[in-house]
Copies of this chain bind each other. A is one copy, B any other.
Amino acid sequence: MATLQLASWATNLQYANLTSDVLLAANKSFYNWAGCAIGGFASQPAPQIALNSTLGPFSGPATSSILGANGSISHSFADAQIAAFVNGIASHVDDYDDTHLETIIHPAGPVASALLAIAEAYGPVTGQDFMTAFVAGVETECKLGLSVWPQHYDVGWHITSTTGSIGAAVAVSKLLSLDKNHTAQAIGIASTQVIGMQAFFGSDTKSFHIGRAAQSGMLAALLAKNGYTSASDALEAKYGWLHVVSTRENATAYFDQLGREWEIKKNTFKPYPCGIVMHPTIDGAIQLANEISGRSSTIENVKSVELRVNPEVLVLTGKSSPQTGLEGKFSIYHAAAIGLLYGEATPSQFTDEVVKNSTVVTLRRKVNVTIDDGVPTDAAYVMLQFDDGTKLEKHVEHVKGSMENPLTDEELKKKFMEQVTLAIGPDRAQRAYDTFTQAEQLEDIGKIRGMY
């Protein structure tokens, strides 16, 4: 009954059911997504290859905006399928998006990318209806993720996109007002497209996963709307999603909590544009960089950098010799080095140039990693050993961006403005901030591209 239970909850969900803290989290998640999509399109080749060289020639009537495209209006729109795909890539390509920490799902990308493109194509859609559909999609992804976590992830799936196509399908179904049975068919069609494996972390294909999940979920909802049949037990069937993609499945327990325990309230925002398990190390490295600045023992006198971290750190970010900026985002060695050398970790520290910089490479080679089951994923021990035998150590107990130590509204705004200003300039960035933070109030969110 998992499939119909989910479909039933989503179709019944009303804007009035969303409490103020749910809406606050939804609004933050949405504008953080927009900032990442605008910034990502401008900063990385992946979304531009996807749009300009590859799918541009396949676009039907251009109804939907490419968030970060800074050319003429005619070069900043595509059909809804392509827009969802490109915005999904752009929103994830910097590894700077949001995170549901229990499952390491980055929930906004697949859902918002599909939803905004559809709203622009099929509107008018009020901001309130949009946010309701967005929450439905995010809750879908996270409850599914909880149902199969951690076995599903351990086997190698990229959980953001494997749950993302289903989340996007539920969200788009909601926006298109599909009934319970049609929504169930959409869930089925989405679930049979399992997108994303961890082998591609550090390449353009990682962000492809998010774009393709958005597009696949949208396609599922459109097909279901038009009577395309699927299975109303798609999730729980013996040869359906929950069983095929995981040796553990416990959807029922989590689906019973739909609308009671809100996952979106646990969504967090990344302070650094890279694999999230490296963030505690970066925190510690930046603290050390600040502490030794102006001291006699400087970074040049560092003999070795000793990290003690959770075992997942090496599983996910163990690249010891990254060659590109994207690979640097999955190198704990690079993360420690740039934190120490630059005192910050912004998109500028994850470029091909910095990854190949000889000072960075030299320090990176001095980084030693010890894994320790006793160190939680949001913690790290970072120690500097100097040539003169002295040591300096930092223990990060709760990383910045965690539930215990969240980004403040000012930090979230600063993150948005930095990314977006680089892409479309300061004036439009300010207008984009004002617009996306007020999306819930719009009478027609499909008009948002004209407002910034």
Contacts and interface: CB of A to CB of B under 8 A. Distances in A.
A50 B220 CA distance: 10
Nearest to A53: B226
A100 to B, nearest CB: 20
A244 B197 contact: yes
A422 B326 CA distance: 54
A422 B312 CA distance: 59
Nearest to A234: B199
A329 to B, nearest CB: 13
A129 interface: no
Given A79-B58, A193-B212, A230 B204 contact: yes
Given A156-B244, A194-B194, A239-B197, A46 B204 contact: no
Nearest to A82: B58
Nearest to A226: B53
Interface residues on A, range: 35 or more
A376 interface: no
Q: How many copies does the complex hold?
A: 2
B233 A205 contact: no
Interface string A202-228: 011100110010001001001100111
A187 B380 CA distance: 37
A177 to B, nearest CB: 17
22 contacts: A50-B228, A54-B223, A57-B60, A58-B60, A58-B79, A58-B80, A156-B240, A189-B208, A192-B195, A192-B196, A192-B197, A192-B205, A193-B195, A197-B244, A198-B239, A199-B234, A199-B237, A199-B239, A199-B240, A204-B229, A205-B229, A229-B326
